[in-house]
Amino acid sequence: MNFNNRTCKKLFLCLLLLIFCFAGGICFAREKKEQEEKQFTEAEKIDPEQLNIQQNRTYDEAITIKDIQIRGNSLVSKEKILNEMNIKPGVKFNRDSIKNELKNIYNMGYFTERIKAIPEADPSGITLHVEVEENVPVTGFNLTGNDVIKSEEIMPALENQVGLPQNITLINGSINLIEKLYTEQGYILARVVKVQDDPDGVINVEINEGIIDEIELAGNIKTKDFVIERHLTVKPGDVYNELKLKQDMARIFGTQAFSDVRRVISPSEENPSKYKLSIEVDEKRTGSVSLGGGIDTETGFFGQVGYFDNNFRGLGQEISASFMAGSGNVLNNSGVLDESPLQVELKFIEPRLNKTLNSLQVSAFVNDMASFQVPLSMERRIGSRIEIARPVKEVPNLAVSMGIGIQDINMEEGDLDEITRIYDKKNIDIVKRAEQLEGGTFISVGPSLIYDTRNALINPTDGWYASAKLNEYFAISGNSETFGKSSFIARKFFPVGEKSTITIGGKLGTKLIGTIPEFEAFRLGGPYTIRGFREGDVGIGEGFMMASAEFRTPIPFITRFLNYKIIRDLRLAFFIDAGTLFDETITNALYNYPGYGISIGSGIIVPLPYIGTMRFDYGYPLTAVGEGNKKGRFTFGIGERY
Q: Quote the pLDDT of residue 1.
A: 44
Torsions phi, psi for 522 (to 5 deg) = -85, 140
What predicted TM-score, i.e. pTM, was given to this entire model? 0.64
Closest CA to 101 of 72, 68, 75: 68
518: pLDDT strictly greater than 50:
yes
Read off the pLDDT of residues 576-630 as tens digits, 9 standing for 90 and up: 999 999 999 999 999 999 999 999 999 999 887 656 688 899 999 999 887 767 7
From CA 147, how far away is CA 546, in angstroms rounded?
Answer: 50
Contact at 8 Å (CB) between 300 and 329? yes
Contact at 8 Å (CB) between 157 and 181? yes
341: pLDDT strictly greater than 90:
no
From CA 362, how far away is CA 365, in angstroms rounded?
Answer: 10
Domains annotated on the chain, with CATH? 37-134 (3.10.20.310), 140-208 (3.10.20.310), 212-283 (3.10.20.310), 288-638 (2.40.160.50)
From CA 375, how far away is CA 414, in angstroms rounded?
Answer: 9
Angle, CA of 400, 311 and 569, to the nearest 5°: 75
3-class DSSP state for residue 554? strand
- What letter does residue 431 receive in the DSSP assignment? G
Q: Quote the pLDDT of residue 282.
A: 92
Torsions phi, psi for 145 (to 5 deg) = 90, -10
Read off the pLDDT of residues 160-214 as tens digits, 9 standing for 90 and up: 888 889 888 889 999 999 999 999 999 999 999 999 988 888 999 999 999 999 9
Strands of the 140-144 sheet, one edge to the other: 140-144, 202-208, 191-197
Q: Quote the pLDDT of residue 641.
A: 64
Torsions phi, psi for 129 (to 5 deg) = -95, 120
Read off the pLDDT of residues 616-642 as tens digits, 9 standing for 90 and up: 999 999 998 877 677 888 888 877 766
Per DSSP, the residues of 188-226 read: TT-EEEEEEE-TTSEEEEEEE--BEEEEEEES-SSS-HH
Q: What is the mean pLDDT of residues 401-409?
A: 96
From CA 408, how far away is CA 444, in angstroms rounded?
Answer: 11
Burial class, 5, CB count within 10 angstroms (exposed 0-12 / middle 13-18 / buried 19+): exposed
Angle, CA of 598, 603 and 605, to the nearest 5°: 125
Beta strand pairing status for 202-208 and 140-144? parallel
Per DSSP, the residues of 106-163 read: HTTSSB-S--EEEEEEETTEEEEEEE--BPPBP-EEEEES--SS-HHHHGGGTGGGTT
From CA 51, how far away is CA 95, in angstroms rounded?
Answer: 10
Q: Quote the pLDDT of residue 237.
A: 93
